Amino acid sequence: MKDSDSIDPKALRRAFSCFATGVTVVTTRNRAGGPIGLTMNSFTSVSLDPPLILFSLGKKSEQYEDFMAADEFGVNVLCEEQVGLSGRFSTPGDKSFGDIPFELWKTSAPIIPGALAAFDCRIDQRVDAGDHILFICRVLHTAVVSEAAPLLFHRSSYVRLEPQVDA
Ligand SMILES: Cc1cc2nc3c(=O)[nH]c(=O)nc-3n(C[C@H](O)[C@H](O)[C@H](O)COP(=O)(O)O)c2cc1C
């Protein structure tokens, strides 16, 4: 019997979901060169020197082949008003931009205007991790673009940041 045999996947998913996160759209180019994006909350800062971030892609994603073939990625940290983009880029099926505007910084990865901050990145290493692949990327350019309220995700729902109360 493996150690993990006693872990119920539903219980594990529920426990994972207690960890409140921001929400990003990770963008890249598909194999035809078109801009695509995928909603991800697995974004994590990794290292200041060198500047590294990571995100984790499920192997069952329809975008798996395109993300594995790509080298350049944009991580766009969403604000509350961009909740529609989170829905758009997490709905199974087409992940192309359509008429959603984007900018280019240093790489070919689409950068979404109005996001709180963005990281324009090149792949450093992919690490196989169970049913996901960790994408560890070097940040080539970044900027804080907006001071708006962040979009947050907690227990499988979008939530708002409460204004801080002084003690
Ligand atoms: C808030 C939120 C965060 C998500 N984070 C991730 C993530 O970190 N990694 C991932 O592979 N999928 C993540 N997903 C799921 C994808 O956005 C997408 O729904 C899933 O990959 C199925 O679509 P696809 O098959 O077209 O990729 C997240 C979804 C939501 C709504």
The residue to mutate among 38, 41, 65, 66, having the most atoms of ligand 1 within 8 angstroms of its beta carbon, is 38
Structural domains of the chain in order of their starting residue, each with its CATH number: 22-35+55-152 (2.30.110.10)
Q: Which of 133, 154, 131 is nearest to 14 (CA)?
A: 154
Residues present in the chain in total? 167
List pLDDT tens digits, range 117-162. Answer: 999 999 999 999 999 999 999 999 999 999 999 999 999 999 999 8
The residue to mutate among 90, 134, 153, 156, having the most atoms of ligand 1 within 8 angstroms of its beta carbon, is 90
pLDDT beneath 50, residues of the chain:
none
**Tokens standing for 36?**
């695509």
Fill in the DSSP letter of residue 4: G
* Predicted structure pTM score: 0.96
Contact 24, 43 (CB under 8 A): yes
Fill in the DSSP letter of residue 5: G
**Tokens standing for 18?**
């207690």
Q: Is 158 exposed, middle or buried (0-12, 13-18, 19+ CB in 10 A)?
A: middle
Alpha carbon nearest to ligand 1 atom 21, residue: 61
Q: What span, in angstroms and rounded, lies between the C-alpha atoms of 8 and 10?
A: 6
